[in-house]
């Protein structure tokens, strides 16, 4: 089943649906999960100013998530600046 992506899909659904509880502060209010590529979790920051600060805490966030989701659920966390919306 792992090769079919079933485990990854259920993990992604849990991360997306329970982000506030799983991530804690400041992640819950300053980021949102936008994708998962294998065990790499991609987050979008709510502001460009938050990106640099949050990038320093990605290892700690990965450890926190793995403690709740299982070892090696998240191997890396990438924080991206907010996407441009509108025009």
Task: Tell whether the model's pLDDT for residue 7 goes beyond 60.
Answer: no
Q: Which residues pair with 78 in a beta bridge?
A: 42
Domains of the chain: 2-80 (3.30.300.180)
Give the range with max mean pLDDT: 8-12, 37-41, 50-54, 64-68: 64-68
Which stretches within 5-86 are classed as H helix?
6-17, 19-23, 27-30, 48-55, 58-69
- Per-residue pLDDT band for 1 (boundaries 50, 70, 90) equals very low
Task: Tell whether the model's pLDDT for residue 26 goes beyond 90.
Answer: yes
Q: Degrees (nearest 5) of the Cα angle 26, 29, 35?
A: 95
Long-range contacts, stretch 63-70, CB < 8 angstroms, 24+ apart: 64/22, 64/23, 64/24, 65/15, 65/22, 65/23, 65/41, 68/22, 69/11, 69/14, 69/15, 69/22
- The tens digit of pLDDT for each residue in 53-83 reads 999 999 999 999 999 999 999 999 999 999 8
* pLDDT at site 85: 63
């Amino acid at each position: 089943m792992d090769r079919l992506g079933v485990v990854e899909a259920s993990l992604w659904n849990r991360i997306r649906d329970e982000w506030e509880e799983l991530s804690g502060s400041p992640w819950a209010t300053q980021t949102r999960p936008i994708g998962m590529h294998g065990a790499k979790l991609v987050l979008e920051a709510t502001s460009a100013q938050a990106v640099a600060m949050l990038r320093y805490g990605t290892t700690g966030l990965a450890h926190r998530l793995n403690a709740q989701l299982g070892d090696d659920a998240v191997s890396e966390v990438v924080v991206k600046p907010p996407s441009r919306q509108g025009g």
